[in-house]
Every structure is written in structure tokens, then in C-alpha cells.
């Protein structure tokens, strides 16, 4: 299905000019309308103080291919939603919103949105994150006693369960620091550490303190060493904080549970049962994870507001961390009728920025995170709904490995089989209503420590490469789960994918896959279009999707396919360029008036469009025809 005649808008700088970017100011919004669409008039419908306005837009640029329409939308409120009304042959029957073009009225929740009252850090959009599970990444052979809760495992063994959390392989932060050269060779520049605080499990999501790094990982000195080494490699470091809960052995909970008059009692939800006994609320019924109650101002001070708070303490100083990933952020500060999640997320991020102005906070969110992002707290979310789920359903193998879970990232009946049209529709649905700044700072993940490995789902290296290509070229921050780049196994669950890195067995590495990751990351980190540019879908089919990422100075054409397919052909004049340079994959075929893309699959290709005869926002009175050249970069 060709999308070339579809009108287009997104939140990138090509379409939103931040002329007076503040509440009370305005932003110039633009729509690109191909002439072939036969649209003759455009209006913008926007919100202000709970009311709506629908105002005709002005023609800014016109040429033989397209018309650009513009209007200055007032930023009356912190969050302004808007969509476009399109009139064809005198009939205003079409809307353009964040999910696409519709011939029926659409709700505000799917609008484009402007959020002018927030400050988003810039460095994440140019970064690639590498996730490290400290107990399984690398060991320095640290000589520490085995705690009574743990079962020691040798490095060359695999996690076995059923008590996965007690399996201690002995990774530590000194070992991680020694292997940052691997991360640097891959090309990632942010190290995200899953929890490092003292706990009673290998995963450490049950913190018994937030005040010290676990001695099993080398303690505070080891984190300091890793941070110094990361900075030497021009890398940043992010931590993982359980804002939703603490462990049952945390002193706060021990005091609260033993004394109903303890000041820490208010840090938790003690709920009166039918048997007359008060019991603490827990995370999904797990007795070792005690839910925190942010109705308590004292708890807010302890966690993030106070000068010595947990959030600020670990960001402080030249070797402080650069931000946080918030575990189960979708549940934090929510319990029954009590919901202060948006308030807490805004306060938490604000407190982090007080300590370190460019700190970056990402929330874990398996479900629909749009309302939380629109509310203006987290800078982004882990985009399971907007990226992981759609890509899994499109690229899954016909048959999955024995033991692959029957749940689909929270849904029953397993991973569905869906086509590219469904994939793109889901991606658009779960980014509609989200500030573009937050889309750009949400993590694009193929898998994580909570899922089976993506390559096990994809079934072969070629489909895996297509997933990596999508991950590195879509709007957002790519996050690579350690070991993905060398094909580490993990089929049955996230615990199974938490296998130790095989440093002493490089013969087991998939070096071809590593090189693909390295190439894709290099392309991602060298392109402004991939960091902050527009995303325009040009062709969406069952087995192939084609899209353009662009800024006025940098334009990349991407083609992802899961199978051999009918070749996609694009009119030469529509791409507004003189040269097509192959960046990744195969070259295009140039015919008289069209460009023919490779029809192989599974495959992923990237081309740079160079030497446009006019800038990509169009200039009146110039021709769009050009001499097309094809070259290999």
C-alpha cells in the first residue's frame, strides 16, 4: 500500500517550529499535502482551556508535487492537542491525527500534542543504551562470602530455576568495568545497570537498602570505578530504581511492620483484611516486594525531594550516574483509589534535574504509557507497546522453539502472527497523543532481562537483523540487552535469557550478528535524521515497509522486509534528490522515472538521499525533476 499521496505531519522540527516555546507562546505547525491527494483546504483543530478551535491554515509553499500548509497554534495550556481537518472537492470529511488519515471523527486522545512546559535532555536522542545485568555480565573474581539466601553457580553454567533469584553467578562491577571495551567496540555509549543495591536476590529488585551498592558487586568503590571507566570511554551510566517497592528486609519495612507507631509505617499501605489483620500491600502478591505509599511526604523526601535523597545522592558528583530507569513505573504511586503517579513522576524528574540538569529518567511500561507521558513526568518509557509487541508479531517465526512462553508480553495465547500493516498501525496508535520529545526518548527494545531473546522468536539470523535494523532507525533510543549482539540464548522466559556472558568461549559468539549490530549502531549514532528527524511512511505492505527519516540536512530511506515480496517502486521525483547512496544492504535499481527497491527478504536496507534540488520543505517556483545517480557509500 503506497503512502505517497497521504498528507503528513509529526512532531519533528520540520513540522513544528518552536517559535515561542512556552506556555502562553505559540508554535508554527505544518502539514505536507501531496497534490495527488486532491486536498484543497486544510484547517487545524486545537484545544485551549478545555475548549476547541478549528482555524483554516495558510499555504506556505507550493510546487507541482505538494503544498505545505502552516498555522501558529497558541500554547494556551501546558498540553495542547491538535489534529487537521482536510477538505477535498468542498467536502471536509477527513481528519489527520497521530494514527493517520480517517474519514470519521476522531477523539482527542489520538491527536498530535505539544508540551511546552518541560525540559528534555538532548544527549539521549543521540545515544544507544546497553543493558547490563551485573551478576551475569562479567566477574573480577571478587572474594566475598556467599550470603545464606544464595546458591553459587559457575560462570559456564546456565540458569536453571525454579528458584531463579537465588542463583548467584558472581558478576561484579569491577568485572563490568574491565569489559566496557566490548560495549565501546559495539558502539553503544550508555551503560544501564539493573539494580545494584544490597538485596536478597540476584536480580536485586528487592532492595534491603538504597544507601549502598551490594558488597557482592564490589560496593560503592566498584561503582565509582565503573563510572570512571565509563567516562574514559565517553559513556554515561544509568541506574535502576524500584520507586514502586522495596524489599521485605529493608529497615523501613522492618520498623513499620514491628511497630504500628513507627514513622515509617506511613511509607507503606497496611490494609485491613477480613480476618482483622493489617497486612502490607505488595507488588502483584510477591511477599518480598513491599509497595511504597507516596501519600507520605516523608517518603517523598527520602526517595527524591531531600538533598540527601536516594535519587539525588547517586547522581551527585563527577562520577555520579546520569539518570534512572524506574522499575514498574506504570504502578508506582498507584494503589486502588489512591493515584498520585503523575504528581510523583513530575516531582521525581524535577528533583533529578535539580541535582543534574541533564539527567534522564525512563519508566518501565509494558502497557499503554501514553497518558503517563502526556502528563509530563517520565522523559520516555520502555516502548513495549509502541515497538516491541508490533515487531515481535511481524517478525516471529512460523513455529516457535519448544518452551517459548504462551504469554505475549502480558497477553495470553502466545505471540500472534501479524502483517506489516498491523505493525505500523500499532506503532502509530501507541505514539499518538504522546509529545514527540517523549517518543524520541523512549527505549526501543527487541527484548530485555524480562523476556525471552528476540532471536529465539525470530527463528533465524536474517529476521533478527531486520529487527535490529528497525530498532536502530525508528524514532526513539535503542536499548540493547547484553548478549543480543552475539546471539546468547534464552527461550523460556526472562530468567532464561539472563545467561552469563561467555567471555572465555568466543567460539560460541555469532560474529556476523555482532558486526551487523556494530554497523547499525554506527549508522544510528552518525545520523541527525535518526536522532531527531521526521518519520514518514512511504509504503506499508504485509511483508515490506518503507519509510523516510529526515531533517532538512539529513535524509535516510529505509526498507525492512520479512520475506521475498513484489518490488516496491517509488517515483523518482517524489524523493527530491540527485543521488541515492547505499548505506546498508543492496543498491536500488534506477529506471526512467522510478526507483525500484530490492525485493529480497528477510532483509534491511538503508540509503542516504543526497543533493536535493530543493530543500525538503519545498520552495515555490522550482522544479522537482532531477538527474538521479546511484552509488554505494
pLDDT at 193 over 90: yes
Task: Give the span between the Cα atoms of 334 and 294, in whole angstroms.
Answer: 9
Average pLDDT of the residues in 570-588: 94
Binned at pLDDT 50, 70 and 90, residue 622 comes out as very low
The architecture of the domain spanning 16-115 is: Sandwich (2.60)
Phi then psi for 155, rounded to 5 degrees? Answer: -65, -30
End-to-end distance of the chain based on CA atoms, in angstroms? 29
CATH of 127-244+293-529, one of 3.60.20.10, 3.20.20.80, 2.40.50.100, 3.30.460.10: 3.20.20.80
pLDDT digits (tens, 9 = 90+) for 110-120: 999 999 999 99
Spell out the SS3 assignment of 461-495: HHHHHHHHHHHHHCCCEEEEECCHHHCCCCCCCHH
pLDDT at 406 over 60: yes
Average pLDDT of the residues in 43-63: 97
pLDDT digits (tens, 9 = 90+) for 8-35: 999 999 999 999 999 999 999 999 999 9
Q: DSSP characters for 97-150?
A: ETTEEESS---GGGSEEEE-S----SGGGG--EEEE-HHHH-------PPPTT-
Question: Cell 523501613 maps to which residue?
Answer: 252
3-state secondary structure of 305: helix
pLDDT at 616 over 50: no
Please state, for a pLDDT cut of 90, what percent of the chain lies above it: 93
Strand partners, 176: none
pLDDT digits (tens, 9 = 90+) for 294-308: 999 999 999 999 999
Nearest CA among 421, 423, 405 for reference residue 413: 405
Binned at pLDDT 50, 70 and 90, residue 170 comes out as very high
Task: Give the span between the Cα atoms of 153 and 156, in whole angstroms.
Answer: 8
Inter-CA distances, 87 with 99, 127, 497, Å: 18, 41, 52
pLDDT digits (tens, 9 = 90+) for 344-383: 999 999 999 999 999 999 999 988 999 999 998 999 999 9
Give the pLDDT score at 614. 54
pLDDT digits (tens, 9 = 90+) for 269-296: 999 999 999 999 999 999 999 999 999 9
The architecture of the domain spanning 535-632 is: Sandwich (2.60)
pLDDT at 440 over 50: yes
- Cβ proximity of 32 and 60 under 8 Å: no
Query: Running DSSP on this structure, what letter comes out for residue 382?
Result: B
What radius of gyration, in Å, describes the C-alpha atoms of the chain?
25
> In degrees, to the nearest 5, what angle opens at C-alpha 227 toward C-alphas 219 and 299?
60
CA atoms within 13 A on the CB side of 459: 13
What residues contact residue 261 under an 8 Å CB cut-off, 6+ apart? none
Rounded to 10 deg, the angle between the 461-473 and 511-526 helix axes is 20
Give the pLDDT score at 615. 45
pLDDT at 628 over 70: no
Task: Give the span between the Cα atoms of 421 and 423, in whole angstroms.
Answer: 5
CA dihedral 336, 338, 343, 345 (to 10 degrees): -40
pLDDT at 618 over 50: no
Higher-confidence residue: 592 or 474? Answer: 474
Ordered by start, the domain boundaries in the chain are 16-115, 127-244+293-529, 245-291, 535-632
**Cell digits of residue 452:** 525471552
Please state, for a pLDDT cut of 70, what percent of the chain lies above it: 97
Average pLDDT of the residues in 143-147: 96
Task: Give the span between the Cα atoms of 368 and 385, in whole angstroms.
Answer: 6
Asked, as a colleague might, if the bond just before 162 is cis with ω within 30 of 0, I would say yes
Strand partners, 479: 129, 445
pLDDT digits (tens, 9 = 90+) for 534-569: 999 999 999 999 999 999 999 999 999 999 999 999
Residues 444, 460, 558, 98, CA torsion sign: negative
Binned at pLDDT 50, 70 and 90, residue 434 comes out as very high
Strand partners, 43: 56, 85
- The DSSP element (H or E) to which 443 belongs, if any, is strand 443-445
- Cβ proximity of 229 and 237 under 8 Å: no
3-state secondary structure of 619: coil
Please indicate whether the domains covering 16-115 and 127-244+293-529 agree at the CATH topology level.
no
Give the pLDDT score at 624. 35
Task: Give the span between the Cα atoms of 387 and 445, in whole angstroms.
Answer: 7
Task: Give the span between the Cα atoms of 553 and 296, in whole angstroms.
Answer: 50
**Cell digits of residue 231:** 567516562
pLDDT at 336 over 60: yes
Give the pLDDT score at 627. 56
- The DSSP element (H or E) to which 54 belongs, if any, is strand 51-56
pLDDT at 468 over 50: yes
What residues contact residue 592 under an 8 Å CB cut-off, 6+ apart? none
- Cβ proximity of 545 and 424 under 8 Å: yes
pLDDT at 617 over 90: no
**Cell digits of residue 486:** 552475539
- The gap from C-alpha 98 to its chain's centroid, in whole angstroms, comes to 18
Task: Give the span between the Cα atoms of 118 and 15, in whole angstroms.
Answer: 19
3-state secondary structure of 28: strand
Question: Cell 537498602 maps to which residue?
Answer: 209
- Cβ proximity of 4 and 573 under 8 Å: no
pLDDT digits (tens, 9 = 90+) for 207-222: 999 999 999 999 999 9
Average pLDDT of the residues in 188-196: 98
Averaged pLDDT score across all residues of the chain: 95
Residues 243, 247, 251, 252, CA torsion sign: positive
Task: Give the span between the Cα atoms of 54 and 73, in whole angstroms.
Answer: 10
Task: Give the span between the Cα atoms of 284 and 300, in whole angstroms.
Answer: 22
pLDDT digits (tens, 9 = 90+) for 73-129: 999 999 999 999 999 999 999 999 999 999 999 999 999 999 999 999 999 999 999
Question: Alpha helices, DSSP H only, in 489-602?
Answer: 494-497, 511-526, 528-532
- The gap from C-alpha 86 to its chain's centroid, in whole angstroms, comes to 32
Task: Give the span between the Cα atoms of 97 and 551, in whole angstroms.
Answer: 21
Nearest CA among 584, 587, 575 for reference residue 524: 584
Amino acid at each position: 500500500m503506497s503512502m505517497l499521496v497521504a498528507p503528513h505531519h509529526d512532531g519533528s522540527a520540520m513540522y513544528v517550529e518552536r517559535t515561542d516555546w512556552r506556555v502562553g507562546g505559540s508554535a508554527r505547525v505544518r502539514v505536507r499535502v501531496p497534490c495527488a491527494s486532491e486536498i484543497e483546504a486544510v484547517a487545524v483543530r486545537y484545544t485551549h482551556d478545555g475548549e476547541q478551535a478549528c482555524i483554516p491554515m495558510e499555504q506556505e509553499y507550493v510546487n507541482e508535487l505538494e503544498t505545505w500548509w502552516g498555522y501558529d497554534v497558541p500554547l494556551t495550556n501546558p498540553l495542547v492537542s491538535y489534529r487537521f481537518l482536510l477538505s477535498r472537492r468542498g467536502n471536509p470529511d477527513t481528519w489527520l491525527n497521530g494514527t493517520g488519515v480517517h474519514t470519521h471523527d476522531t477523539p482527542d486522545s489520538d491527536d498530535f500534542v505539544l508540551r511546552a512546559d518541560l525540559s528534555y535532555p538532548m544527549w539521549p536522542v543521540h545515544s544507544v543504551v546497553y543493558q547490563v545485568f551485573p551478576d551475569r555480565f562479567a566477574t573480577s573474581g571478587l572474594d566475598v562470602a556467599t550470603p545464606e539466601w544464595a546458591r553459587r553457580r559457575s560462570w559456564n553454567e546456565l540458569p536453571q530455576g525454579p528458584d531463579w533469584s537465588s542463583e548467584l553467578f558472581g558478576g561484579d562491577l569491577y568485572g563490568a568495568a574491565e569489559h566496557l571495551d566490548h560495549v565501546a567496540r559495539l558502539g553503544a555509549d550508555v551503560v544501564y545497570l539493573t539494580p545494584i543495591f544490597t538485596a536478597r536476590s540476584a536480580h536485586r529488585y528487592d532492595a534491603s537498602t538504597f544507601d549502598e551498592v551490594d558488597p557482592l558487586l564490589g560496593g560503592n568503590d566498584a561503582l565509582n570505578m565503573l563510572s570512571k571507566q565509563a567516562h574514559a570511554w565517553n559513556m554515561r551510566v544509568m541506574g535502576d530504581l524500584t520507586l514502586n517497592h522495596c524489599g521485605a528486609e529493608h529497615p523501613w519495612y522492618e520498623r513499620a511492620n514491628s511497630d504500628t507507631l513507627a514513622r515509617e509505617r506511613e511509607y507503606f499501605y497496611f490494609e485491613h483484611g477480613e480476618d482483622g489483620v493489617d497486612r502490607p500491600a505488595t507488588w502483584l502478591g510477591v511477599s518480598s516486594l513491599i509497595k511504597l505509599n507516596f501519600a507520605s511526604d516523608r517518603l517523598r523526601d527520602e526517595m527524591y525531594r531531600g538533598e540527601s535523597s536516594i535519587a539525588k545522592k547517586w547522581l551527585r558528583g563527577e562520577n555520579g550516574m546520569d539518570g534512572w530507569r524506574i522499575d514498574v513505573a506504570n504502578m508506582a504511586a498507584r494503589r486502588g483509589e489512591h493515584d498520585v503517579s503523575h504528581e510523583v513522576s513530575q516531582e521525581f524528574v524535577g528533583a533529578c534535574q535539580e541535582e543534574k540538569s541533564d539527567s534522564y529518567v525512563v519508566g518501565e511500561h509494558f502497557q499503554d504509557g501514553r497518558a503517563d507521558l502526556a502528563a509530563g513526568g517520565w522523559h520516555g518509557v520502555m516502548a513495549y507497546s509502541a515497538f516491541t509487541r508490533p515487531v515481535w508479531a511481524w517478525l516471529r517465526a512460523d513455529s516457535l522453539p519448544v518452551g517459548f512462553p504462551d504469554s505475549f508480553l502480558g497477553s495470553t495465547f502466545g505471540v500472534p502472527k501479524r502483517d506489516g500493516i498491523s505493525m505500523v498501525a500499532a506503532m502509530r496508535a501507541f505514539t499518538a497523543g504522546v509529545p514527540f520529545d517523549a517518543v524520541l526518548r523512549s527505549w526501543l527494545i527487541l527484548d530485555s532481562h524480562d523476556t525471552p531473546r528476540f532471536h529465539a522468536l525470530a527463528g533465524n539470523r536474517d529476521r533478527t537483523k531486520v529487527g535490529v535494523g528497525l530498532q536502530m532507525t525508528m524514532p526513539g533510543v535503542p536499548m540493547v540487552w547484553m548478549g543480543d549482539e552475539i546471539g546468547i540464548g534464552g527461550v523460556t522466559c526472562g530468567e532464561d535469557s539472563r545467561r552469563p556472558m561467555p567471555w572465555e568461549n568466543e567460539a560460541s559468539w555469532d560474529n556476523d550478528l555482532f558486526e551487523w549490530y556494530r554497523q547499525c549502531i554506527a549508522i544510528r549514532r552518525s545520523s541527525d535524521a535518526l536522532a531527531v528527524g521526521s518519520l514518514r511512511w512511504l509504503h506499508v505492505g504485509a511483508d515490506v515497509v518503507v519509510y523516510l527519516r529526515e531533517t532538512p540536512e539529513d535524509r535516510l530511506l529505509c526498507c525492512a522486509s520479512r520475506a521475498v515480496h513484489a518490488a516496491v517502486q517509488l517515483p523518482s521525483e517524489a524523493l527530491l534528490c540527485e543521488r541515492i547512496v547505499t548505506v546498508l544492504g543492496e543498491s536500488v535499481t534506477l529506471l526512467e522515472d522510478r526507483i525500484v527497491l530490492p525485493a529480497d527478504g528477510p532483509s534491511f536496507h538503508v540509503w542516504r538521499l543526497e543533493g536535493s534540488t530543493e530543500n525538503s520543505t519545498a520552495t515555490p517556483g522550482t522544479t522537482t525533476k532531477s538527474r538521479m545517480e546511484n552509488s554505494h557509500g
